[in-house]
Amino acid sequence: MLFNSYEFVFLFFPLTMAGYFICLGAEERLGEGEGSGRLGKMFLFAVSLLFYGWSRPGDLPILIGSMAVNYGLGRRMESLCHKKQVLAAGLFLNLALLACFKYLGGSYPAPLGISFFTFTQIAFLMECYREGIKEVKPLAYGLYVGFFPKIMQGPIALPGEMMGQFEKKGQTVCWERRFRSLYLFVLGMFKKVLIADTLGKAVDFGYTGLSALNSGDGLIVMISYTLQLYFDFSGYCDMAMGIAGMLGFDLPLNFHSPYKAANILEFWKGWHITLTHFFTQYLYIPLGGNRKGRGRTYVNTLVVFFLSGLWHGAGWQFIVWGMMHGILYVITRAFKDWRKGKAGSGQAGGWNRAVHGVCVLLTFLYVNIAWIFFRAPSVKEGLFLIKTIGSFSFGRINWNLAGCFNLDEFWYVIKVLGIDGWQYAHYILMTLILLSLLLLVFFGTDAVSYTKKVKPGWGHTLFMAVLFVWSILSFSGVSSFLYVNF
């Protein structure tokens, strides 16, 4: 089941909200006071399993089996002095399951969200080994892994971020928080349904006919995918955080204006933040982190980015993408280390706004080029698109490519204005949409930061209602989220 579907918006989630708070209320009345919240959390766990198995029931036994094995291993470590063998067995089983479905192929496709619930459980085992958590209750563990807002695409919550929330008593949610959470959900839905899926049409058109593109076409396809991936994935995370917030839970932030980054280090502080935290805690630090000299630090960094690329897919194009980020990350860090040493302490001098702006644009360009390999079916096709863009064979933008941006509701306005007969009218919406989105990612406020400052009122309510209705009316043409298969 997708968040951007009629059955979720009008059936599943309203019933889940009502059922959860009815359970909490019933428990309080029966207990003549504040309840433990157990009944409500049992209800949430049941509907989370229903949500996960809705479209592919065959995936549900795999999830439940994985949860049972990992919970048993975690509890086993609590009673042993020598835990390394149990941890090693748990890591092997989890990674083997992930590899079998994602990389070895087979007749049955990889279960939905397998990477996300596998990483969640690896984090649990690691914290059990480190004694960061003890005596975890089965229900709290089940919700930590299977909580429906995050099970498909994350964010990858670490035990310390979520486990305690599921062990607390019943949740109390003020109306202002519910309003903000609903607002965040609607903004995320709008980002996915109206922005990401519109861009996706242009991206799909471009990648199905690379040989017919000129340099301008290729540039538009490249930028469109960069924007599509951001609005699609961050839109999902906004929706997930909004859903959890309406139920009284907090999910960790996963995106924070990554395209405003002036270098690749800053980019990874704002892009897929929870994946970065996971690799830092459970791969980079165990490898030695930065404790064994600069050379080892740089090698550890490259290992992390190599495995990050491999996690996203088995094709060489994902390895190229990961290593492009890893190499630039090491170069940038080495440069910063060199400057720090030259200055004695801190960084020498300061960058003015113009230099900072150039750095942002160069970082954005590099990230764009790397995303080509993330989207291309192969390294060869990725190189072909880069070569096309670099050939400077500019001309009039492909008519059909520009048409992907011509949403009916906007095209109607162009007709009313009487400019639809102009020879360049077909390109107006493409230009306006891309420029507006670029200005938004460079200068705008991200949805999470924006909604935190929102005060309930008629203006915000009306704006939210317009975006909600507009998104709902566009559901028939939407696609699944890009990260649902990772």
Catalytic residues: 312
DSSP string, 276-315: HHHHIIIIITTTTTTTT-HHHHHHHHHHHHHHHHHHH-SS
Cβ distance 47 to 99 under 8 Å? no
Cβ distance 15 to 26 under 8 Å? no
Cβ distance 224 to 202 under 8 Å? yes
Burial (CB count <10 Å: 0-12, 13-18, 19+), residue 172:
exposed
Residues 6+ positions from 289 with CB-CB distance below 8 Å: 297, 300
Cβ distance 297 to 290 under 8 Å? yes
Distance CA 229, CA 390 (A): 23
Cβ distance 476 to 195 under 8 Å? no
Distance CA 343, CA 173 (A): 50
Cβ distance 126 to 87 under 8 Å? yes
Pick from 59, 115, 122, 107: nearest CA to 313: 115
**CA angle 333-154-61, nearest 5°?**
135
Q: Is 469 left (phi over 0), alpha (psi -120 to 50) or beta?
A: alpha
Owner of token pair 């009284």: 248
Residues 6+ positions from 9 with CB-CB distance below 8 Å: 3, 472
CB atoms within 10 A of CB 165: 18
CB burial string 346-379: b at 16+ within 10 A, e below: eeeeeeeeeeeeeebeebbebbbbbbbbbbbeeb
Sign for the CA dihedral angle at 44, 48, 49, 55 comes to positive
CB atoms within 10 A of CB 29: 10
